[in-house]
Amino acid sequence: MFNKYRLRNYNFKLIIFVLTLAIIGVMAVSSADESLYTKQLWGVVVGTVIMVILSLFDYNLLLKLYWIYYGANTVLLFMVIFIGEETNNAQRWINILGIRFQPSEIAKLLIILFFAMFIMKHEEDFNSIIYVLISIVLFAVPAALVYKQPDLSTTVMLTLIFAVIMFAGNLSYRFILAVVSVAVPVFLIMIYLIMQPDQKIVSDYQKGRIMAFFNKEDSANDEGYQQTYSVMAIGSGQLSGKGFRNNEIYSVKNADFIAEQQTDFIFAVIGEEFGFLGTCSVILLSFLIAIECFMTSFKASNTAGKIIAAGIGAALGFQSFINIGVVTYILPNTGLPLPFVSYGLTSLIVSFASIGFVLNVGLQTDSK
């Protein structure tokens, strides 16, 4: 289970980036809602312990349970449909033995682990049409269950992760070009159909968010108010911000103009309190974490390690970009948290666990 690793291969840079970003998250969450400070801090502590433990486990042994991961993931997502708890128009959480968590967050990691082993086991035949189709079907099951919640944003995230997984698994360029040539027009057609008054593709509240993005001026006081005020909060922070836990009267955060400011819109809190310098620090750290994951992927000793590191880098990088894009109003409102920063213990601990796997992939590159 444990191997003899060389300390020089341990990616301390990645750990420093992750812990720095997580500490910024604890500060921001405590400012947004002081009652959540202890939970967020404990989440970072528990997540760090899990990260270190997983970093020392041989991922090749853990991947032998890949079908169990797939089965557990499918079962949890099915449970959301039948016994899930609804919050803000979405049924995404389940409560088991008093522990409330979000299976769609766990699905991101489990899908990466499953396909890492599945693709490596069928590496020689992977570029045959039959295995490409099997991979698509295996991905479509959890993706459809997440979409059913409804959770369009996480479904899009999973699709992006799956695309990176297939690319990292050395999918032939002829398949990639074929998919892109179909995906682009399908996406444009979908957007057009969603805009129609009698569409059934997405729920009303999801359509409202999309329409609000394309009609920003008309929706500033209803569907788009969160993003409008979040941009105001970030702009008001100017260069260095208004200060941590400031008591200024002219504060968007203090006036509670932004709903869910401790989760989806935590970046707005950072912008107002720490200014341009604070937001740039978060963007830079998020970028560096994703880059370190991709660099680890390039040095991985096998295909599974390559897929794990690339998939996790994509998951953290895409989600950070989408969250910040929403808060700065360059993307429609999605409801995705900012990795390592937003309040939400499921997302936080899964993110730390993911980094644990990346660290172990890095240790395996030259450990013998």
| Side chain identity at residue 36, one-letter code | L
* Reduced 3-state DSSP string for the chain: CECCCCHHHCCHHHHHHHHHHHHHHHHHHHHHCHHHHHHHHHHHHHHHHHHHHHHHECHHHHHHHHHHHHHHHHHHHHHHHHHCEEECCEEEEEEECCEEECHHHHHHHHHHHHHHHHHHHCHHHCCCHHHHHHHHHHHHHHHHHHHCCCCHHHHHHHHHHHHHHHHHCCCCHHHHHHHHHHHHHHHHHHHHHHCCCCCCCCCHHHHHHHHHHHCCCCCCCCCCHHHHHHHHHHHHCCCCCCCCCCCCCCCCCCCCCCCCCCCCCHHHHHHHHHHHHHHHHHHHHHHHHHHHHHHHHHHCCCHHHHHHHHHHHHHHHHHHHHHHHHHCCCCCCCCCCCCCCCCCHHHHHHHHHHHHHHHHHHHCCCCC
pLDDT at residue 140, as a whole number? 94
Query: What span, in angstroms and rounded, lies between the C-alpha atoms of 357 and 59?
Result: 7
Residue 216 confidence (pLDDT): 61
| Per-residue model confidence (pLDDT) at position 85 | 78
CB neighbour burial string for 190-214, b if at least 16 within 10 angstroms, e if fewer? eeeebeeeeeeebeeebbbbbbbbe
85-87/90-96 β-pairing: antiparallel
Predicted confidence (pLDDT) per residue in 182-223, tens digit: 777 877 777 777 767 776 666 666 666 666 666 666 555 566
| Radius of gyration, alpha carbons of the chain | 21
Blockwise average pLDDT, block size 10, the chain, 368 residues: 72 96 95 91 97 94 95 94 75 82 94 96 87 92 89 88 91 75 75 70 65 62 73 88 78 73 91 94 97 95 95 96 92 87 94 97 73
Q: By CB neighbour count within 10 A (0-12 exposed, 13-18 middle, 19+ buried), where does 58 fall? A: middle
The side-by-side arrangement of strands in the sheet containing 99-101 is 85-87, 90-96, 99-101
Phi-psi region of 238 (alpha: psi -120 to 50; beta: other; left: phi over 0): left
Each residue of 313-361: pLDDT tens digit?
A: 999 999 999 999 999 988 888 778 999 999 989 999 999 999 999 999 9
User: What pTM, to 2 d.p., does this model score?
Assistant: 0.90
